[in-house]
Structure 1
Amino acid sequence: MALERAVRAKLASKRDPDQDAEAQEWIEIVLGKKFPKGQLYEDVLRDGVILCEVMNKLKPGAIPKINTSGGQFKLMENINNFQRALKDYGVPDLDVFQTTDLWDKKDLAQVTTTLFALGRTTYKHPEWKGPWLGPKPSDEHKRDFSEEQLKAGQTIIGLQAGSNKGASQSGQNIGASRKILLGK
């Protein structure tokens, strides 16, 4: 029991309340409604209903059926449907939280990280006009160099290679210092 409390405390320390608040605000703006007063962020998200609604706002019809009742397995199915829709939307698998991270409240920091990954992915969907969450991902800037330019670069030694001008080991005392014993 003590170990479980220690693990929960460690995971809770990874959470950033500011990021949770930012993710919550983004969800509220996307859905056009506030979280119920007095309920915690993780409790509102736990059944997956809100997450599915967000996904359907971003991509209409992404999750055709959202379970609002029917017991634990039906509600956990919402989370699984949300995760599947995330991946279809373009969120990398690496950024998607595990179902137990949310349902059992094991790693809520990862849930928020997933929401930020979703928010970044919306930048890549021109049909979505905002709001966005997190910084805009950079675009690839491919460069094409001619053979002549590539060969010219081979003759230059960059400053990153450093210089040995004036380098010596003079004055360096490497290892143990010399011991001088005076005999009597």
Structure 2
Amino acid sequence: RSWSVRLAVASASCSRSGALVAVARTAQCVAMAYRGPAYGLSAQIASKIASKRDPELESQILDWIEEVLECRLPQAPYEEVLRDGVVLCKLMNALNPGCIPKINTTGGQFKKMENIVMFQNAAKEWGVPDLDVFQTVDLWERRNIPQVSQCILALGRACYLHPEYEGPCLGPKPAEENKRHFTEEQLRAGEGIINLQYGTNKGANASGINFGNTRHM
């Protein structure tokens, strides 16, 4: 009986813990969604970030996504098209089939934010550098839309690095590594070059120049 009681207590405790975690996550999502307007320094920072938005790049990104997905996107503002993460997850599955097994097309805020996180992880696996990956709040709270664009641009450029991918890419092709190998003989020949062959500037100096001095008559 004592073991049964202990198991029952432990089970109840776990249930309460799980419920608390769920409540905390929901509260966090609600707080993030209903964040008030920024004032003072926060407003200045937000305005500065917003000024960096590039409408032309955003249009190119949406056109590229439509070309990859072979479908039209909703007629809505740029950030609203991407905000729930569904389009981003579909984009990743088009680039790398099966990388996101389940996309949350329904559900609350937490499910939508989960889509964004899944996209971020898949983008890193595709080759997007960590520094180019935006934070979840950058898109969900619209804090840094230019960083979202930078991430998608990096994603499009990473397509060049996947020969198995035959679809359209976005942006310029990344510079390829060009390693050069020298033999021991070539290295030794370089060490034997006389320094004077590189030239010298010892003959040029400021001797005799009295610019700025008082002229004595």
Root-mean-square deviation over aligned CA pairs: 2.2
Deviation of 1:15 after TM superposition, in Å, equals: 1.6
Q: In the TM superposition, what whole-angstrom CA distance separates every residue of 1:85-136 from its partner, at most 9, and x where no partner exists?
A: 1112222212111001110111111111101111111111111112001111
Aligned residue pairs total 178
Please report how far the alpha carbon of residue 35 of structure 1 lies from its aligned counterpart in structure 2 after TM superposition: 2.2
What amino acid is the match of 2:46? R
How far the C-alpha of 1:172 sits from its partner, in A, is 3.2
Deviation at 1:45, TM superposition (A): 0.3
Q: Where does structure 1 differ by over 6 angstroms across 4 or more consecutive aligned residues?
A: none
| Range moving further from structure 2, 48-57 or 25-34 | 25-34
Cross-structure match for 1:138: 175
Amino acid at match of 2:106: S
TM-score normalized with structure 1 length? 0.87
Query: TM (normalized to structure 2)?
Result: 0.74
Structure 1 residue aligned with 2:118: 81
Q: CA deviation at 1:78?
A: 0.1
Give 1:33's aligned residue.
71
**1:102 aligned to which of 134, 139, 142:** 139
Distance 1:89 1:158, change over 3 A: farther
CA distance in 2, matches of 1:134, 1:91: 13
Q: Give the superposition deviation at 1:152.
A: 1.6
Distance 1:145 1:96 in 2: 37
Structure 1 unaligned residues grouped into runs of 5+: none
Task: Give, in angstroms, the shift of residue 151 of structure 1.
Answer: 1.6
User: SS state of the match for residue 51, structure 2?
Assistant: helix
Cross-structure match for 1:52: 89
Q: 2:106 aligns with which of 48, 69, 74?
A: 69
Q: Tell me how far apart the structure 2 counterparts of residues 42 and 117 of structure 1 sit (CA, whole Å).
A: 17
- Structure showing greater radius of gyration is 2
1:65–1:162 Cα change, 3 Å = farther
Q: Which has the higher contact order (CA 8 A, sep 6+)?
A: 1
Could you say which structure has the higher helix fraction?
A: 2
Residue 128 in structure 1 maps to residue 183 in structure 2: no
Identical counterparts, % of pairs = 55
